Copies of this chain bind each other. A is one copy, B any other.
Amino acid sequence: MTTNPRNDVNNGVKVQTRAKERERIVRAADSVDRVYAAIKEFAIDYRFRPGEKINEVELATELGVSRTPVRAALNRLQRDGFVASVPNKGFYARELTPEAVRDLYELRAAIERAAFVLACERATDTEIQATVDAWTKHSSLKGEGSWAKVAVADESFHMALTQLSKNAQMVNALEGLCSRIRFFRRIDLESMPRRSHSYQEHEAIIDALRRRDAAGGAALVEKHITLSSAHAMEVAARGLARIFFGTTA
């Protein structure tokens, strides 16, 4: 933490504007959003170690702002599930447990499954085609893409699929969920035997959607997403290793 100084989020913020012919420093006005994004990114990557106490003044100085926006951001992140607050003690980073990993994936599977069923009855052929196109475009750089890019493409495919449900609440919930899962999804993708596995399953899901096969597709989605408890344990273990040792294995 202290050895890994965070980037100053304040870059280029002290915008200058003219008022009454004189230039003045303008306040940030949206510090909270930037601070929120910065801290969230840290939390997503577990650059706060699991359960770690978060020091407000330290964080504030590192981000170049006062404690006020930091606290505001932490309050938001609390409801996002990234930090927990204990009265008179402060904020603590989220934990990392195999159960949490498994539970998050199960919840994600539940939402995406339901979204798929809704998509089958609500998405137009054109919309489906657009989603497929976006996916194939991404997946065309299959061989060359780095793992990070693959992960991005995978997540945006699933998000796009969910958007076809026309259910804003599901999309919203899934977004929050994905940000909490992202760290694990990367690890999971990287440790996959062959990348093509995932691609083939996506193809099958697309096919079911085209045929409006709600039941069949729902089963595919569920299976595609859900992690076994053993697998969740493995992912969690790899995650911990990465956090504490920085290893890729």
Contacts and interface: CB of A to CB of B under 8 A. Distances in A.
Contacts of A77: 79
Interface in A134-157: none
A115 B78 CA distance: 24
A113 interface: yes
Number of copies: 2
A30 interface: yes
A173 B100 CA distance: 13
A156 B40 CA distance: 33
A173 B107 contact: yes
A163 B167 CA distance: 25
Contact of A107 (B79, B81, B114): B114
A203 interface: no
Interface of A is mostly: helix
Interface in A89-134: 99-100, 103-104, 106-107, 109-111, 113-115, 118
A118 B106 contact: yes
A7 interface: no
24 contacts: A33-B87, A71-B72, A72-B75, A75-B75, A75-B76, A76-B79, A79-B79, A99-B168, A100-B168, A100-B169, A103-B167, A103-B168, A103-B169, A106-B114, A106-B118, A106-B170, A107-B167, A107-B169, A107-B170, A107-B173, A109-B114, A110-B113, A110-B170, A113-B114
